[in-house]
Amino acid sequence: MKKIVLLIAAFAGTISFVSAQKLPSSKVPAEVKNAFGKAHPEIKSVNWEKEKDYFEAGFELRGHKISEVYTAKGVLLETETTIKVSELPVEVTTYVSGHYKGAAVKEAAKIVKADGTIRYEAEVKGKDLIFDAKGNLVKN
């Protein structure tokens, strides 16, 4: 019985480590806060999370929910912006309607990597499907 309890505790600890954790601003490295502040001096309200070794800033700008992912040194890795489902490339909605009969895209986002690579995210049936800029499935 002890082994089962220990196994469950270890598994639960692993799950919480893998998922994002809310973080007070005081726990965010100065390099990250400085980089964010330089990029967005107008933003006063930021929600911070930590996932693995990265720091994610969540905020709203001009009616869009945005999140940016930074390294501990303050290097921006990607920006994810919510968009209307109608703003997804037509190839994305075509893929969804062909592979998920009767399902709708619940949320959509445009992801811009630091190197300029564009990805689209479509949440369908609780899954985040990732597409390239041309609407080709990259990850499901």
> How many C-beta atoms surround the C-beta of residue 36 within 10 A?
21
> How many C-beta atoms surround the C-beta of residue 57 within 10 A?
24
42-52 pLDDT, tens digit each = 998 999 999 99
pTM: 0.79
98-137 pLDDT, tens digit each = 999 989 999 999 999 999 999 999 999 999 999 999 999 9
**In Å, how far are 87, 104, 135 from 30, measured between CA atoms?**
36, 41, 37
The mean pLDDT value for 48-67 works out to 94
Give Cα 65 to chain centroid, integer Å. 11
- What the chain holds in terms of domains, given with CATH numbers, is 22-139 (3.10.450.360)
Per-residue model confidence (pLDDT) at position 139: 83
